[in-house]
Structure 1
Amino acid sequence: MATTLRMGLPVLTTSLGLLFMAGAATLLLTAQPRPSVPLVPLPQTAIVPPMTMMHRLDGEYLSVGRPVDAPRVAVTLDKPLVIMRYQVTVADYTRCVAAGACKRLDGKAARGDLPATGVSHGDASDYAAWLSASTGLRWRLPTDREWAHAAGTRFIDDARGFDGDNANPALRWLADYDRESARKQASDPAPRPVGSFGANEHGVHDMAGNVWEWTQSCLRRVSLDAAGKTTGETTNCGAYVVEGQHRAVMTSFIRNPKSGGCSVGTPPDNLGFRLVKEQRWQDRVPAGLRRLLPA
């Protein structure tokens, strides 16, 4: 009996070894980490450091019923901002159209290296949702303050220099129109390839170019009393702030600004966008471990 048992031990040991190896192989095959390569090319991004800046707030301000410039206040962004170096291009947007996630651009086909223009706020939001799903990262439109923060020294103060003693609104409107028309005439209205207007101190390109960009900031109307204290505020999320050579407001469904939609002065000719990437806690985990984390 003992001899038989001793003879069976090598066989049992070999069988257990084979079973263990087979189980380990099965585990490796079924527990492969998800591929880390995104379905679409990752956009180039710049990291804008946190800082405090003087910023003229967005919105339309009324003091005792008369238009006034929005206040210029210190605004602090307390964490780094990760934003696309370039505007979303025609080639970028076309990938979203091909995937059936974005509406086709109006007009004839344009060069792939041009900014994607003729997009509504909804189009930009659709692209952000598609890019997020395709890369596993969270992309969204910037707020007005984030855009100004990323623009740095390229941000243009849009104070309109209201004359508080002038009670005739028609004269103010004409002055606004003349100023904005002069800005447009001084610039080339045709979109240029991304990168044509250079980079700012943060490495973000074309913030002073001739393509305006959607933000996620809704139109605000703020009422002030004679002492400058806020007495009321309304928000209209059917219209959004757009940023560029000057700040404007566009209704969310506008694709071609030439048909109207700017709250003050003449509307910009070209509407495009760029996105910011939200930093998640998973993004701070080493890449080798990140692949094992749940989405």
Structure 2
Amino acid sequence: MERPAAAAPAASLTLELSPPDASVRFPDAPARTYRPGMELPRDTYRIEVTRAGHLPESRTVTVAGATRLAVTLAPEPHAFAVSTVPPGGAVRFVEQEMAYTPGMLLPPGRYALEVSLPGYETWEETVVHGQRATARQVRLALSTAGFTDAHAGGAEGPVMVIVPTGSFRMGCVSGTRCFNNELPILDIDIATRFALSKHEITFAEYDRFTDATGAPRPETRGTARMLPAVNVSWADAAGYAAWLSAATGRPYRLPTEAEWEYAARAGQATAYSWGADPGEDRANCAGCGRGGAGGALPVGRFAPNAWGLHDMHGNVWEWTLDCPASWRPAFRSPAATPRTGQCSQRVRRGGSYAHSARRMRAASRDITNPELRSANTGFRVLLELP
């Protein structure tokens, strides 16, 4: 009599699950319920491991003896997006070697981010990305340190400082010591950001223009290349801005009167950005006490205004873009100001070392021949921003 074949000895299966409360299913035997250490005939089995908020995992396991298998479920990724105010900030992961793209799928976790934009303080923070999409808005703070644009040849352009948008009253708002050409007072909206050179353009910066274009170098006083470039006409200043635009691929120009005065005031309605009185050692003008030098001083000698701009009051006059006839009540924004065409006169702003403190008030205007080249006249440039 034949003896029946012996049954294959049973084996066991234990799954080491992460997270430990994940569910296990045998898709080829739906009625089978998984239990840690469960006995199974020696064979090959398909299992599916699932848990809410995680990606499912399918495995094939051969059970022979006391079989143990580790299964770790990856968290389900969600969209991750960072927007910046103003737009255009560059987002970088500090601790992960991966490139950021808006709306990218990331598993939950903590992500150290860095957001940068020229002219603004770099933002750094760790963002917690949870079990749903993350949409983080980052407001960047203006930096008074400034930024530069590289020329095609590798040299750096002038240091530029971003000026925030806003509104102000343009003209002799104090009502005292006014000149007639500072009236009427205009309500001006600056609706578009721009950047203004932190200092008056220096001889060193102007030399790059003359070297590149063959334009004549202006007469200088001494050899200090950090003195403001003076003895330049309005056309010379506009020519420098046009060359800088071509060299950097960015839209540089002279500032309008409204843009210049808005930047000079830096949010103040007083005669000077620091207050109602000229004070001592705040600017280079005739009668400015220890600040008066009897000639132009190297740029940046005095403290900047609240927006990081130096020498908006005194040192040398600065050419602006406008024709004097643009001063009309109808013009309520720089965009409405005539900027092209031939003008028999142009406007200088800011006063100079050779003029009194009254002439370096934020509202002060000097209407003159655009062909003028003098030792107390220079300029600074504006960069249009998107």
TM-score range, shorter chain: 0.5 to 0.7
Distance in 1 of aligned mates of 2:365 and 2:181: 15
1:50 pairs, out of 145, 158, 165, with 165
- Cα deviation for residue 253 of structure 1 reads 0.5
In the alignment, is the contact (CA less than 8 A) between 2:151 and 2:247 conserved in 1? no
Distance in 2 of aligned mates of 1:74 and 1:247: 17
State TM-score, norm by structure 1.
0.58
* Residue of structure 1 equivalent to 2:16: none
- Cα deviation for residue 100 of structure 1 reads 2.5
- Cα deviation for residue 236 of structure 1 reads 7.5
In the alignment, is the contact (CA less than 8 A) between 2:169 and 2:269 conserved in 1? no
* Residue of structure 2 equivalent to 1:84: 197
- Cα deviation for residue 198 of structure 1 reads 1.8
| 2:243 is aligned with 1:130 | yes
Higher relative contact order, chain-length normalized (CA < 8 Å, sep 6+): 1
* Mapping of residues 3-18 of structure 1, within 5 Å: none
Distance in 2 of aligned mates of 1:82 and 1:247: 22
For the residue of structure 1 that corresponds to 2:186, the secondary structure is strand
Distance in 2 of aligned mates of 1:91 and 1:194: 11
2:315 pairs, out of 210, 214, 227, with 210
Distance in 2 of aligned mates of 1:223 and 1:51: 20
* Mapping of residues 173-184 of structure 1, within 5 Å: 184=286
1:238 pairs, out of 340, 344, 351, with 344
In the alignment, is the contact (CA less than 8 A) between 1:212 and 1:242 conserved in 2? yes
- Cα deviation for residue 140 of structure 1 reads 0.2
Q: Compared with structure 1, are the counterparts of its residues 103 and 238 closer, same or farther at alpha carbon in structure 2 (3 Å cutoff)?
A: farther
Residue identity in the other structure for 1:48: V
Deviations 1:17-61 (A, max 9, x none): xxxxxxxxxxxxxxxxxxx8632312211111111111118xxxx
Deviations 1:254-286 (A, max 9, x none): 002xxxxxxxxxxxx510000001125xxxxxx
- Cα deviation for residue 209 of structure 1 reads 2.7
Residue identity in the other structure for 2:295: A
Q: Compared with structure 1, are the counterparts of its residues 102 and 55 closer, same or farther at alpha carbon in structure 2 (3 Å cutoff)?
A: same
For the residue of structure 2 that corresponds to 1:249, the secondary structure is strand
For the residue of structure 1 that corresponds to 2:260, the secondary structure is helix
* Residue of structure 1 equivalent to 2:303: 198
For the residue of structure 2 that corresponds to 1:220, the secondary structure is helix
In the alignment, is the contact (CA less than 8 A) between 2:157 and 2:205 conserved in 1? no
- Higher strand share goes to which structure? 2
* Residue of structure 2 equivalent to 1:38: 152
Q: Compared with structure 1, are the counterparts of its residues 191 and 69 closer, same or farther at alpha carbon in structure 2 (3 Å cutoff)?
A: closer
Q: Compared with structure 1, are the counterparts of its residues 138 and 222 closer, same or farther at alpha carbon in structure 2 (3 Å cutoff)?
A: closer
* Residue of structure 2 equivalent to 1:147: 260
Q: Compared with structure 1, are the counterparts of its residues 199 and 107 closer, same or farther at alpha carbon in structure 2 (3 Å cutoff)?
A: closer
Distance in 1 of aligned mates of 2:246 and 2:286: 37
For the residue of structure 2 that corresponds to 1:216, the secondary structure is coil
* Mapping of residues 61-72 of structure 1, within 5 Å: 70-72=183-185
* Residue of structure 1 equivalent to 2:365: 247
Residue identity in the other structure for 1:211: V
- Cα deviation for residue 139 of structure 1 reads 0.7
Q: Compared with structure 1, are the counterparts of its residues 94 and 37 closer, same or farther at alpha carbon in structure 2 (3 Å cutoff)?
A: closer
> Identity percentage over the alignment?
33
Q: Compared with structure 1, are the counterparts of its residues 156 and 196 closer, same or farther at alpha carbon in structure 2 (3 Å cutoff)?
A: farther
* Residue of structure 1 equivalent to 2:337: none
In the alignment, is the contact (CA less than 8 A) between 1:197 and 1:208 conserved in 2? no
For the residue of structure 1 that corresponds to 2:240, the secondary structure is helix
- Cα deviation for residue 222 of structure 1 reads 7.4
- Cα deviation for residue 221 of structure 1 reads 8.2
Distance in 1 of aligned mates of 2:206 and 2:181: 39
- Higher helix share goes to which structure? 1
Q: What is the CA RMSD across the aligned residues, in angstroms?
A: 2.8
- Cα deviation for residue 96 of structure 1 reads 1.1
Kindly tell me the number of residue pairs found equivalent between the two proteins.
190
Distance in 2 of aligned mates of 1:85 and 1:125: 18
Residue identity in the other structure for 2:381: L
2:377 pairs, out of 268, 271, 284, with 271
